[in-house]
Structure 1
């Protein structure tokens, strides 16, 4: 039987938790931030923010690090919710099953971070004499309030006073830690999760909050929590007889299941910690499973701390004197304690910093006793390697369980450390090595943790402001095409509709090796023949609502082909010719089909009306454009209004332009026609993305770096990304370069994900760091340059950065997606690497 301890919480409302002994805590959720790959300056700045919080928050605090455990199947729930198209159902189901089989035996967890601050006790009775009067008048309430045997009323005046206090605390939390108030549902989850450790995810009661009756007490408005209602959150049969672990039994889906948990305490800290380097709670991310952590602090002003140190010195001196009287030499530990006390006394007297009376509890859970023992040993080994000491206190497991409940009090007092705020802040609470969306489709691993990607999380998430678009950069053969095709394939599995621009004819192989895609796909080959004339005409096929944007694209393409910059007379004449075509197309009584050839007709009319000194240049522009309209690939851009636009009835449309010549890196003029065709394809993609539909849409641009070499191309890419969130669409840009000239600030600010594979040069490595938002220091540059094939640095929607080892799991996907020379022969080696990796992480 567990030691009988009264449940520490009597009521909660909003983010306020009322304890049975009169304590009131305000709770806050902290954002998960990445710590890896930051500069030392950034790391010190982040540490200073935590230190400032602990220094200036002159109250007891309770920090919680809580992994939300998931079953392997849970992240894939989107597969069932979105109901894949029937053509993909069979192979898609097989793919999901193989992913789950590959991940079987591994634990999926997402860390969450919380900070609870104890508010000063509010007593509406007023002065000390009024409190005595209050206690004498209503001794029953006073006794119940302090003993926790009942749930006495909470006066409205008290609630108002606590709310005013909470606002001040929230202001500090928001400024120092970017925290937000916890919700009642989160508090419910934080309480109930302890009763399901080692078993599974907690069943949450949606919309449930503890109820309180509104009453009048002593002539004042009050609320009285309903007796025992809060206890309905506590369930399960516990066994604490083992001494160093707890066992809980729950009924899940009609079957009895057991979970095992053990609570550990950090009993010894090394004398000197280095920062950066000794982030003593961030180390938990090294383990392939989640570990909970609870850090309770009690604030001691430097004067109070100094008194305690001096009292401790007296105790040490007494022990030393006793040893001398007994003829025994003082122990080394006693000598060290005396030296530490003297040093601490000097530091406190000089620097006047507060001391935090700190206790740390770690919690490990598992589905079996054997697994629990292995995990406990791994945690102890982890800290022993760093010269820390971790104990599993015998007989204190149930107390530790209750101490980790938010709103409770410290119950374990044998392992208290007197720390400076800087030492507590070195734990780096609120930082992790997590990566990805935590749900969706498995795309690879970051360390021990699988990484999941949910394509439409950005557009659908109510709090995120980024799109679901992605930039994938890196040199040839490093894996960017493999990742891009994996993202596209998994998007199709969730019923997304897509357009792929395929300049290297790679998707023909994909469709050949993945027959399930053949029924939902259409390859549109655009050739330099009369039959394909006007298929990319930006004015053709545009609805009346789209004509204005289509007109802007037409102007950009015509100016680009005519080498006519903005603001010139010739650009104005071209623009007016386009406007006239659009105006006639929007005529209600006699609308005409707009086309680029129609623009050339009006250009000739305006040319004849132009001043003499301008006519020669306009004649030259008209001659050039007329020639291009009937020769080579540019005839794809010039329709006469009778051509049918490219159909988008299939789920996947692949655009291929035969013989498309694009400029190589460093070229600015050669391949101009190819760039004009790319601009038209980009406009076609914009029109596709702007379709009004709840269905998620994606556009995959390979070789996008060539399009972005010119301003007109960058403008279109930026527009596609900027509008992606509102249109429930995403653009996946695949580029060889991350330089600012090719991927501008507008793209960087609006794209949701960044994936950087190994770059070619140090300059590209610097640009890659800027794209990821990390410092371009020597360590980061060397690391990025030496990334192995198939591994990249990923930045997710929360701007967390870490390594991603891409893994399509299935051999057939590896074969279909891999475009490296000799990739077919490399498959055996890659599969062997997969097997070794799986064995390593289990």
Structure 2
């Protein structure tokens, strides 16, 4: 039977049956895998500094939490729409996501259990007399006293805990653990396999005595049946039937003599590369340099005598002992400089319902360590029960464990703080973080509580960026969001297959619909400003050499805005420009302005005669004017697939140089549609979630006015509760202002080295060779739907996007012929 070492719990302070006192903390993780090398070293050195200042014994519990996934828990944080049709679609998503995650989803929990030296042992004579009295009563009269501790011992422990907490959190991100954490640790360390039911919430009790039978209660009456190289654990589940799991444990038989600070993260490797749950516990003890130096001197002297015996008897000494003598000298020098000596031991646990599977997993872990780090890992025969007990907080540092004496940096280099978590922690399931067992969640609106909710999706064609953008918009729509989609490629018509009220607008040359730039905003001042920005794109009046043209257009816009609202249109603007051009020279308008007025008149007439430009000359008097204010639809898709937008290869330095007249007019129309969508969303209730999805956003990002429009949208998105989603093929299209206001970045397949470097800059990760290979390999066979994701907390991970329900994969796939098959 396993012995549970804790006899009394006060908040996060644990009093053991051997008289020791420990404080339990949860170590919050750091997204470590893709940090720059100097940042990795910084994180490792912070943990090293924490260990350097600690004295005494401790445990590092590196545990896997296999998530308990159910429909009620999944739906709890989701602000789903009340519309019955949308609610039904949401239910299908929820059931599919829960099915996908069940039995697979996991995340890492790391705890530190640190000894409180000031609170350990008997603190006064009164405490000792009370202990003697209680022991006599228990033995002679069979009276069992509650396992409470004296006030003096409790006060000493609280003071020691406060001191060690303040010291530790200046180096590592920790928080005090509670009873729920202790319950999780105990249950996990009993089973080491399978999801645990969620702990019922409750207040933190000031003090909880634990008897020797507490383990039996916390483990649901688990029975341990240890064998030579494995152990079977059985208990009765909620259904009343017996459940069981097989476990085996591994220890370090030999370790490398030296490890670099980074590159051999021997604990984080379990999180980042192993595809099944592995738990670990590290027992460690840190001694003061003075005490450790005396031990080293004694052992050094003993080793020197052994070497002399070898030289006298055999003429030479074993290489291992010669190395040990040299290492002892180096260790002695470090101790003289003030470094504490660390003694540690490691136990790894793997478990599963099938014994053969458990043995195969143990071999996989052993091979991983041998191949990647040089550790020799093996199963200690006959020690299964003692290895299991080593996982309990406050457990003894058993002599059966193979121990290693080392610099504290040896444990720090394991990167126990590293995690692969990315995303919002709760919300809608969108995929898996590599290696494929950590779920990624997106909760609409969560990012805007901390900053910008803008989402940037980049990647070459067919890489999956449009699929991800449509998935995010779909999930927002399940929450009742108003969704506006600017669709230059006619790839968003798939929304008609989903149960949302959809309005589809075909804005194509030669079509019936017209745009009136003067009617984009209900606010006259904003309407005038939008028209001026639009004319900057259409007539290139933003240049320094066309300042006179800008003055003419501003004057003409003011004239039009003075007309009744129904008479404001591009036709009225043309008349106003003609009036200015017809003014006599030498009057209120200068000669340069008159020349520019005549140029503007000719350019506007050319635009009016163009098939694309004719779309702009609509008025309320002529009918067919497009109104974006909405008529009850939830999703509006504006398709502009007939517009002759410029190619992506156009000059990025000055995009106007290679644009034809039709292309420039098409970009101006795209600007108008995006501006109209923004104004329509601004007019919605502020509390309602809104989404503006702009496909092929580089057309706007390449012109100054368009970039300013998207910059303003990013800055104002938080105030108006808008989630902007911008899709572009090249990361270089996103300027510094947009990047600084981006909440999420998704980087799909990229081929060009310069664009890969830009993607890494957006993600905030180094452009290492393995990153380049990963980005180039995304989207290939077996890697479909993979990308790099950066969340608002700047955590980065490789993510496999998994739309749920699975029929969304077909509905959102717009490759030729796929949508018809889906329907």
CA–CA distance in 2 between the matches of 1:710 and 1:265? 62
Does residue 762 (structure 1) correspond to residue 753 (structure 2)? The answer is yes
Is residue 683 from structure 1 mapped to residue 668 from structure 2 by the alignment? no
Q: Cα distance 1:619–1:143, how it changes in 2: closer, same or farther (>3 A)?
A: farther
Report deviation, 1:516: 3.7
Counterparts of 1:229 and 1:645, CA distance in 2: 74
Q: Identify the match of residue 52 of structure 1 among 49, 54, 59.
A: 49
Q: Is the 8 A contact 2:748 2:788 kept in 1?
A: yes
Residue 128 of structure 1: aligned partner: none
1:167-226 per-residue CA deviation (whole Å, 9 max, x = no partner) reads 532442xxx3344454665455444544564342233121331244xxxxxxxxxxxx56
Distance 1:461 1:756, change over 3 A: closer
How many corresponding residue pairs? 781
In 2, the alpha carbon distance for the partners of 1:22 and 1:747 equals 59
How much has 1:89 moved relative to structure 2? Answer: 6.8
The match for 2:489 is 504
State the 1:56 CA deviation.
3.3
- Is the contact made by 1:302 and 1:348 (CA closer than 8 Å) also made in structure 2? no
* Correspondence 1:207 to 2:207: no
Aligned residue number for residue 749 of structure 1 = 740
Q: Which residue of 1 aligns with 2:468?
A: 483
Q: Measure how far apart 1:766 and its partner are.
A: 1.4
Aligned pair partner of 1:431 in 418, 421, 439: 418
Distance change in 2, residues 1:445/1:158 (3 Å) = closer
Q: Which of 655, 673, 691 is equivalent to 2:665?
A: 673
Q: Could you tell me how far apart the structure 1 residues matched to 2:163 and 2:20 are?
A: 14
What are the residue-to-residue correspondences of 1:65-214 with 2, within 5 Å?
65-71=62-68, 77-78=74-75, 82=80, 86-87=84-85, 107-122=104-119, 150-155=147-152, 157-158=155-156, 161-162=159-160, 164-166=162-164, 168-172=166-170, 176-182=171-177, 185-194=180-189, 197-212=192-207
Match of 1:804 among 795, 799, 803: 799
Q: What's 2:708 paired with?
A: 715
Write the distance in 1 (CA, Å) between the matches of 2:551 and 2:225.
87
Q: For residues 756 and 158 of structure 1, do their structure 2 counterparts lie closer, same or farther at Cα, with a shift above 3 Å needed?
A: same
Tell me the equivalent position of 2:646: 663
How far, CA to CA, are the matches of 1:423 and 1:798 in structure 2?
29
Secondary structure (helix, strand or coil) at the match of 1:177 reads coil
Taking the aligned partners of 1:132 and 1:100, their CA distance within structure 2 comes to: 56
Q: Give distance in 2, aligned partners of 1:367 and 1:523.
A: 53
- State TM-score, norm by structure 1: 0.78
Tell whether the 8 Å contact from 1:211 to 1:226 is kept in structure 2 after alignment.
Answer: no
Q: Deviations over 1:256-310 (max 9, x none)?
A: 5444444433232123435543211122132212222222321123332232233
What does 1:525-604 correspond to in 2, within 5 Å?
525-528=506-509, 531-534=512-515, 537=517, 539-540=519-520, 542=521, 552-565=529-542
State the superposition RMSD in angstroms. 4.7
**74-83 or 405-414, which deviates more:** 74-83
What SS is found at the alignment partner of 1:449?
Answer: coil
Which residue does 1:645 correspond to in 2?
Answer: 627
The alignment partner of 2:264 has SS state of coil
Tell me which residue corresponds to 1:278: 264
Larger deviation, residues 673-682 vs 52-61? 52-61
Aligned partners of 2:456 and 2:43: how far apart in 1? 28
Cα 1:248–1:202 shift into 2, 3 Å: farther
> Partners of 1:602 and 1:170 in 2: how far apart?
72
Matched position secondary structure for 1:685: helix
Q: Structure 1 residue 754: deviation in Å?
A: 1.9
User: Are 2:383 and 1:383 aligned?
Assistant: no
* CA-CA distance at 1:729 after TM superposition: 3.6
1:422 matched to 2:409? The reply is yes
The aligned residue for residue 141 of structure 2 is none
Range that drifts further, 483-492 or 133-142: 133-142
| 1:795 equivalenced with 2:777 (yes/no) | no
Alignment of 1:226-375 (within 5 A): 231=214, 234-243=218-227, 244-245=230-231, 247-252=233-238, 257-274=243-260, 276-285=262-271, 286-313=273-300, 336-337=320-321, 339-349=323-333, 352=337, 353-375=339-361
283 and 241 in structure 1: CA distance in 2 versus 1, 3 angstrom threshold: same
Q: 1:660: Cα distance to partner?
A: 1.5
Task: Report the alpha carbon displacement of residue 596 of structure 1 after superposing the two structures with TM.
Answer: 7.0
State the 1:399 CA deviation: 4.5
- Contact 2:465-2:748 within 8 A present in 1 as well: yes
- Within 2, Cα distance between the matches of 1:270 and 1:78? 48
Alignment correspondent of 1:698: 691
Gapped runs of 5+ residues in structure 1?
126-130, 213-224, 586-590, 829-842
Distance 1:603 1:30 in 2: 68
Q: CA deviation at 1:317?
A: 7.1
Residue matched to 1:64: 61
Alignment partner, residue 833 of structure 1: none
Q: Mapping of 1:514-533 within 5 angstroms?
A: 516-517=497-498, 520-528=501-509, 531-533=512-514
Alignment of 1:380-419 (within 5 A): 380-385=366-371, 386-393=373-380, 396-406=383-393, 409-411=396-398, 413-419=400-406
How big is the shift at 1:314? 5.6
